[in-house]
């Protein structure tokens, strides 16, 4: 995919950099645009902004350009970028933080089915304490309407034992559910606070 020429909108927000750094727990301001993050990224070919472009836009305070980008939703959180960054910027944590900020600000994910996927992923982890890949796939396929797509990949994976039919539950799934409930309550309280 050819990368976008950046068209910055009028309202740059200098406070955005600080907001992102606090949420992500990393110093985006240290990025010096070497591009190693993009070179390490396995999914940069489908992104509309390269990871280093996202870092630059955050430095510039281009809130809207960043929060409506597809890149923040396509990031697979693999952390390859964070491990290779010579300035020790945690790019993966920054992408995470940007998704949180986008949701909090009411941006719809720029990738159509990504919110559905994230929701099913989290429900899956909440219920079993860890990911059950087959359950995730089946629920996602049912809800997204593509039940029989990717069978050419899924069936060989099942044959080779890569997709377990039954979830492997951790001990203490009650604690996991309680943890999710606390996070949801905190999010609801944060939203309520913003509305006041």
79 or 144: CB nearest ligand SF4: 79
Calpha distance 14→74 (Å, rounded) = 26
42 or 146: CB nearest ligand SF4: 42
Judged by DSSP in three states, 67 sits in helix
Considering all CA atoms of the chain, what is the largest pairwise distance in Å, rounded to the nearest integer?
54
Calpha distance 66→151 (Å, rounded) = 35
Calpha distance 1→46 (Å, rounded) = 6
Least Cβ distance, residue 87 to ligand SF4 (angstroms): 4
Least Cβ distance, residue 123 to ligand SF4 (angstroms): 22
30 or 116: CB nearest ligand SF4: 30
* Binding footprint of ligand SF4 on the chain (CB under 6 A): 31-37, 40-41, 43, 51-52, 55, 75-81, 85-87, 89, 91-92, 95
Our CA angle for 70, 186, 60, nearest 5°, is 40
Least Cβ distance, residue 179 to ligand SF4 (angstroms): 23
Least Cβ distance, residue 35 to ligand SF4 (angstroms): 5
Q: Residue 12 class from Cβ within 10 Å (0-12 exposed, 13-18 middle, 19+ buried)?
A: middle
45 or 184: CB nearest ligand SF4: 45
CB-side exposure of 104: number of CA atoms within 13 Å? 21
Helix, strand, coil percent values for the chain (each to nearest 5): 60, 0, 40
29 or 173: CB nearest ligand SF4: 29
Residue 51, both tokens: 């990871």
96 or 123: CB nearest ligand SF4: 96
Least Cβ distance, residue 20 to ligand SF4 (angstroms): 13
Least Cβ distance, residue 188 to ligand SF4 (angstroms): 28
Residue 192, both tokens: 């309520």
């Amino acid at each position: 995919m050819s990368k976008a020429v950046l068209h910055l909108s009028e309202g740059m927000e200098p406070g955005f950099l600080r907001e992102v750094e606090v949420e992500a727990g990393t110093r985006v301001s240290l990025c010096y645009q070497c591009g190693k993050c993009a070179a390490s990224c396995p999914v940069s070919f489908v992104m509309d902004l390269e990871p280093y472009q996202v870092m630059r836009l955050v430095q510039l305070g281009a809130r809207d350009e960043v929060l409506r980008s597809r890149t923040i939703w396509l990031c697979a959180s693999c952390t390859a970028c964070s491990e290779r960054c010579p300035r020790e910027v945690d790019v993966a944590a920054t992408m995470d933080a940007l998704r949180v900020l986008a949701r909090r600000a009411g941006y719809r994910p720029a990738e159509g089915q990504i919110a559905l996927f994230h929701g099913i992923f989290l429900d899956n982890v909440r219920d079993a304490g860890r990911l059950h890949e087959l359950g995730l796939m089946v629920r996602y396929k049912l809800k997204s309407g593509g039940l029989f797509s990717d069978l050419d990949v899924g069936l060989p994976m099942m044959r080779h034992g890569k997709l377990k039919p039954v979830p492997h539950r951790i001990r203490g799934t009650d604690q996991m559910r309680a943890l999710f409930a606390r996070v949801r309550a905190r999010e609801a309280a944060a939203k309520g606070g913003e509305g006041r």
